[in-house]
Structure 1
Amino acid sequence: MARSPTQLKIVPATLAPDAHAPAAGATQRIVDSITAAIAERRLMPGTKLSEQKIGDIFEVSRTVVRQAFNQLSRDRLVVLEPARGAFVATPSAEEARDVFEMRSILETAVTKRLCATITEEQIRQLREHLALESAAVNDAAVPGRTRLLADFHLVVARMLGNEVLTQMLSELLTRSSLIALMHQSSHSAGESHSEHVAIVDAFERRDVKAAVRLVGKHLINVQHNLNLDPQQVDLAEILNR
């Protein structure tokens, strides 16, 4: 499922690269841009990441690029292979199940806490996000739509004010994007948006049980629409003519 290197396109996520920027800042810029490209499904699983090409894009040394690759490797978004280089990770079915299990644990806890304390202003913010989602679902720009649908879960988490939890969920959501690409998710953007609307409706009613149930159902639906258990091929049956 790897892309040809000629298809690799990474655009810096923030400002244009500065040749005199500190190495740490340059490293983070590369990490942020590759992470965004994965989350928005612009980088496919298995894509080879060329040190030289990325160094040229960001106008930094290959040493800085390697530092970024090492950080992405720790986040399990990139795999480093001896003598071959860096590749966008290709999550296994087992890893996919683990990711969704962790998301379920975190998002259930977030939902329970937030639903008990959510304010009218936070409801308004969620409605504004849903409006952006609705517009994006009808748009042909898939990366923006994908980003908004994932960001819904981060908008909810940030309302608790726990940055550690938000960062953990952000990393899981990026890995979920890779998983969806690797295992061909059939869960449509329209379905995800409708489920988000139902979750916000439950928040507005302060109905904790309904909100938890709807979040759990949403994650189950997304996971069930992944091809994690492809049909086993019986070669003897296929070739026995």
Structure 2
Amino acid sequence: MAPRSPSLKHIRPARAPASKRTGGTEADAQTSTHRIVDSINAAIVERRLMPGTKLAEQRIADIFKVSRTVVRQALNQLSRDRLIVLQPGRGAFVRQPSIEEARQVFEARVLVEAGLVRQLCAQIDEPQLDRLRDHLSAEAEAIARTDVPGRTRLLADFHVLLAQLLGNEVLAEVMNDLLSRSSLVSLMMQSSHSAEASHAEHVAIVDALTRRDARSAVRLMGGHLGNVERNLRLHPRTGDLADVLQPPSATS
């Protein structure tokens, strides 16, 4: 059984050693803030947290066993990342992308990822191709066992992995942002592009990278993203926070 691809979300600078950090209370608050941000982001990428869902501060505080101040810090960060909107007097809501925003998100992805695979074709090596093949195996296994959150995350992380293989963390962070926003678009408009189709298209892209065929890789990536965009249809849903937010273990 091929090893699962490591988690690719939220590339952050390494934290300073404990002796160099500020007081424990502040460090704990920052850790809790990151846990909430990571959990909400994961719920969006795995398509469990629906656009328009109200993110009630007290509800989240109860789920994560933290203060509302910590929750507010997390919501402010997510707002800056354009994943949620803060409405005065009403609270926080998962962002609901417009049709025009959806079009712009996929246009941006085509521009970024076409250049990404073109550059990869010029420099990718066999160990990196092996990482991609391992990732494809993990995708196939998640699809076969009907692991919906797992396969959704893996299908998204494929695109971040491509950026990471270039050794460009800034580009990987850009891809994280675009993928989170793409997930909101797909949730809001209920993509009918199947996981099996996405996986097959990923396999074709890796085959082109293996051949170092930049023209085919760019064409296949554009076709893949175009297929996902064309299969969007308007069908918003809502969900309950307790069902979709899964607080990571404090020791993980």
TM score, norm. by length of structure 1: 0.84
Tell me which of 92, 109, 126 is aligned to 2:132: 126
- The residue number in structure 2 matching 1:63 is 69
One-letter identity of the residue aligned with 2:218: V
Aligned identity (percent) is: 64
- Which residue does the alignment assign to 2:166? 160
Cross-structure match for 2:241 = none
Residue in structure 2 matched with residue 179 of structure 1 by the alignment: 185
Question: Alpha-carbon deviation of 1:61?
Answer: 1.2
* Partner of residue 4, structure 1: none
1:169 aligned partner, one-letter code: M
Residue 227 of structure 1 deviates from its aligned partner by 2.2
Report which of the two structures shows the higher radius of gyration computed on alpha carbons: 1
Note the residue ranges of structure 1 that are not aligned, 5 or more in a row: 1-12, 14-18, 229-241
1:94 aligns with 2:100: yes
Q: Secondary structure at the match of 2:86?
A: strand
TM-score relative to the length of structure 2: 0.81
Asked if 1:149 is matched to 2:158, the reply is no
How far off is 1:183 after superposition? 0.5
Q: RCO (CA 8 Å, sep 6+): is it higher in 1 or 2?
A: 2
Amino acid at match of 2:35: R
Cα offset, 1:139, TM superposition: 2.1
Q: Is residue 224 of structure 2 the alignment partner of residue 218 of structure 1?
A: yes
For 2:161, the aligned partner's letter is V
Q: CA deviation at 1:79?
A: 1.0
- Work out the number of aligned pairs and report it: 211
Coordinate RMSD, CA, aligned: 1.5
1:80 and 2:86 are equivalent in the alignment: yes
Task: Give the corresponding residue for 1:201.
Answer: 207
Moved more, 86-95 or 133-142: 133-142
Secondary structure of the structure 2 residue equivalent to 1:22:
helix
Does 1:43 pair with 2:49?
Answer: yes
Equivalent residue for 2:31, pick from 25, 33, 38: 25
Q: Which deviations, in whole Å up to 9, do the C-alpha atoms of 1:202-234 show, x marking residues without a partner? A: 000010111111001101111111126xxxxxx
Which secondary structure state, in structure 1, belongs to the residue aligned with residue 192 of structure 2?
A: coil
Task: Please state whether the residue corresponding to 1:227 is helix, strand or coil.
Answer: coil
CA distance in 2, matches of 1:47, 1:158: 32
- Displacement of 1:74 in angstroms is 1.0
Which residues of structure 2 form unaligned runs of 5+?
1-9, 11-23, 235-252
